[in-house]
């Protein structure tokens, strides 16, 4: 897989590539289509949002990386309220790569954002996949007392290990 090969043409890691989560999942499933798609995607997945963060706030921050086509808020499957993630679809590929490079770990509403390239939004993915309808990773972290208490919120350390909603 060309994507996984190190090319030694930079003096540091590029931040605008898919996360280990996507790569590991692709390797595990031996299916690299999504990974390939995410490389040229105009969409980013944004996780670890506060449940009260609005589309407008996300627009305000993410439009600094390029013109936005639309934002799809991740919703609790049952309550249809925001549940901590969203997809930002840019008009150009440049926008999503910029978001990866520049906005990773930026604080919005007191939360450190986790951003990943996304193979593209499909209807249905806006809903949380946790047992209770919310985002699975957040539900998991609040069920597990130890983890939930860590950093006071489903912080980024649990990222990549938990089962993320919406994807």
Partner 1 sequence: MDSYNPGKRSRDDFESDNYAAPQQQFEDENAESKRQHVDPTQELINNVCKDIRRLGENPNIANQVADVSYISNPIVAEFEKIDNLRNAILSTIYAVIIEQPQKINALSNLILICNSKNFVVAKYVIEYLHAKAQTLLDSIAPKKEEADEDVDEEDAGVFNNLKSILKFLATLAPIIEGYSIINIFKQFLKLAIDLQNETPDNRNGTAQEIFYNSLIAVPYLFSNDFSQELIDQVNELVALAKDFKIVESATNTLLQPFDSKLDNYKLPYEPVKMIDLIYNAILTLQGEEKDWVNLKHKLFLDFSELLASIIEEALQNNPISNALVKHQLPQLSLPTIAQVQEYKPVGSIDKLWKENSRVLFQVYNSTEFETVPRIDSYFGLFFKDLSFDILTNLSFNKNEASIQLSILDLFFSKDLFAPPGSSIDSLTMIHEDNKSGENVPPLSTWKIEDIAVESILTMIFQLPVTLYREIYYYTVLISCCRESPESIAPVFGRAIRYFYNNLETLDYELKLRFLDWMTTQISNFEFSWKWDEWVADSQKFKHLRHHPKKNFIKNLIAKEVRLSNKNRIKDSFVAVNPETSEMVNLEEFYQYLNISLFEDETKFILDYDTALYNQEGTREILEKIHLEKREQLAAKPAVFAQEEIFFNFSLPELPLHGVASKVYDFVVAHWKPNTDFDELCKEILEATKEFPDINGIKFMINLIFQTYAYIGSRSIYSVVSILSRDVNKLKYLSGSPIEYTEQEPKFEEQEISPEEITDRQNWIIESIFRVWIHQPQEVFLILEYLIEFGILKPENLVLKTLDLENNLILENVSCMESMNRVLFNSSIATDKGDSFKKLILLLFNAITRNLNAISGELQEDKNEIIKITKDIEDPEALEVSKRIDQEWLFYEYKGLLKSYFRRYIKNSEIDYLSDIREIFDTIENVPAKDDMLQWLDEVSP
- Point out which residues bind partner 1 (CB under 8 A): 6-16, 20, 24, 52, 54-57, 59-61, 64-66, 70-73, 98, 101-110
Q: Which is nearer to partner 1, 80 or 131 (CB)?
A: 80
Query: Of the candidates 158, 167, 166, 124, which has an alpha carbon nearest to the alpha carbon of residue 140?
Result: 158
* Whole-angstrom distance, CA of residue 167 vs CA of residue 146: 25
Shortest distance, position 143 Cβ to partner 1, whole Å: 24
Q: Which is nearer to partner 1, 117 or 139 (CB)?
A: 117
Query: Of the candidates 79, 87, 164, 75, which has an alpha carbon nearest to the alpha carbon of residue 127?
Result: 75
Shortest distance, position 45 Cβ to partner 1, whole Å: 16
Shortest distance, position 90 Cβ to partner 1, whole Å: 12
Output the CA torsion sign for 110, 135, 164, 115. Answer: negative
DSSP secondary-structure letter at 146?
Answer: H
Q: Which is nearer to partner 1, 11 or 146 (CB)?
A: 11
């Amino acid at each position: 897989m060309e994507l996984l090969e190190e090319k030694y043409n930079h003096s540091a890691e590029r931040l605008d590539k898919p996360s280990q989560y996507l790569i590991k999942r692709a390797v595990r499933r031996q299916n690299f289509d999504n990974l390939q798609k995410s490389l040229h995607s105009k969409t980013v997945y944004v996780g670890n949002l506060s449940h009260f963060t609005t589309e407008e706030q996300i627009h305000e921050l993410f439009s600094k990386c390029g013109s936005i086509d639309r934002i799809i808020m991740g919703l609790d499957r049952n309550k249809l309220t925001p549940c901590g993630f969203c997809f930002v679809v840019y008009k150009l590929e440049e926008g999503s790569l910029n978001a990866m490079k520049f906005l990773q770990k930026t604080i919005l509403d007191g939360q450190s954002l986790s951003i990943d390239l996304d193979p593209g939004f499909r209807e249905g993915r806006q809903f949380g996949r946790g047992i209770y309808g919310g985002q699975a990773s957040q539900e998991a972290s609040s069920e597990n007392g130890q983890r939930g208490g860590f950093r006071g919120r489903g912080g980024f350390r649990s990222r990549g290990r938990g089962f993320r909603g919406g994807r």
